[in-house]
Amino acid sequence: MVTRRFNTAGRRRRNVLHVEVQQRRQSKKLYFRLATATLALAALAGVWLGLSYAGRAVMDAAFYQNRDFELKTIDTRLQGAVTRAEVLRVANLRVGQNIMALDLAEIRQSLREISYVDTVRVERALPSRLTITVEERRPVARLEPFSPDGRELARPTYYIDAEGYMMRPKPGEELKPLPVIKGVGAELAQDGQRTDRAEILSALRLLQLADDAALKGDLDLTQIGVDSKGYLVLNTREQGRIRFRVDFLAEQVRRLRTILDYARGRGLVIRTVDLAPERNVPVTFANLNS
């Protein structure tokens, strides 16, 4: 019994030693493989970097340092307030730059940041011509905000286009004779931004609907006021007062057309109309000659 125990213990020690030797051999193999892979990757990286540097040198020589690709002509196609000098300054362009190195998307984005610029197209014509076409926003009204504390505003007037984008007039510019939107707080007027205020957008829509409905002969479209939140006021040419709700404007304009036709057929003029109610619209008239 004693001898068997001694032999069993010996076999166990030999098995343990055998496992340790095998593990060491496997570790050496693993380290060798890792080292080989690392060296291979390093060699590939060196080759890639060498090719990369060589490729860059070839590209530089062929394009980016080639005098044949120097910018010689900057063709600007503009209309309205934007000037050639402003385009070149904002886009940081000048004759002599390498035309291949210019980032056309960056040029477009920089010019789009001018508040009265709508769309920009930049075209590269090799070897040395760049064409920039700028389309501006077309203002359809002027916005004259007020200061809640009564102070005089440094920027009392903005232009606004049909989509609600606001633009400052050029310094010293004679203001365009456009309809004026009043009753809007100065905090809502931001140069280059599109307003999301329902009253302003509805005022623009109302001006369009009044024009399309051939109401220009009856209405005073030189000014439209924001009466309060959710309501607009427009005058007739006989100083009548018409109140609108900011929604369902097309329906309200149709009602107004009917009321105006009724008054004209009876020799009357409108003094007040409140189109805000959905039915039973309050109207007051006066005799045409009174």
Residue 245 lies in a domain: yes
Domains in the chain, number: 3
Q: Are residues 100 and 144 located together in one domain of the fold?
A: no
Is the omega angle on the peptide bond into residue 127 within 30 degrees of 0, that is, cis?
Answer: yes
Query: Where are any strands of DSSP class E within the chain?
Result: 73-77, 117-125, 129-136, 139-146, 158-161, 166-167, 180-185, 219-228, 231-236, 241-245, 268-274, 283-287
- Rounded to whole angstroms, what are the CA distances from 275 to 172, 245, 258? 40, 7, 12
pLDDT beneath 70, residues of the chain:
1-64, 149-155, 290
Q: Please give the pLDDT value at position 46.
A: 54
Q: What is the pTM of this model?
A: 0.71
Residue 58 lies in a domain: no
Q: Please give the pLDDT value at position 3.
A: 38
Task: Write out the two tokens for 125.
Answer: 């014509």
Q: Are residues 174 and 237 located together in one domain of the fold?
A: yes
CA distance 198 to 131: 39
Task: Write out the two tokens for 200.
Answer: 């302003």
Q: Are residues 172 and 256 located together in one domain of the fold?
A: yes
CA distance 76 to 182: 37
Q: Are residues 247 and 215 located together in one domain of the fold?
A: yes
CA distance 200 to 143: 9
* Helix, strand, coil percentages, rounded to 5, for the chain: 40, 25, 30
Domain boundary among the residues 136, 160, 183 is at 136
Q: Are residues 120 and 151 located together in one domain of the fold?
A: no
Q: Are residues 108 and 9 located together in one domain of the fold?
A: no
CA distance 63 to 31: 47
Q: Contact, 167 vs 160, CB < 8 A?
A: yes
Positive or negative: CA dihedral 12, 14, 16, 22: negative
Residue 154 lies in a domain: yes
Q: Are residues 150 and 253 located together in one domain of the fold?
A: yes
Q: Are residues 158 and 177 located together in one domain of the fold?
A: yes
Q: Are residues 30 and 83 located together in one domain of the fold?
A: no
Q: Please give the pLDDT value at position 31.
A: 41
Express each pLDDT in 4-26 by its tens digit. 443 444 455 444 444 444 545 55
Q: Are residues 125 and 192 located together in one domain of the fold?
A: no
CATH of the domain at 255: 3.40.50
CATH of the domain at 79: 3.10.20.310
Q: What angle do CA 132, 135, 137 make, to 5 degrees?
A: 150
Task: Write out the two tokens for 212.
Answer: 């399309």
Express each pLDDT in 157-206 by its tens digit. 999 999 999 999 888 888 999 999 999 988 888 888 999 999 999 999 99
Domain assignment of residue 14, given as a range: 1-35
Q: Contact, 74 vs 132, CB < 8 A?
A: yes
Residue 43 lies in a domain: no
Q: Are residues 270 and 148 located together in one domain of the fold?
A: yes
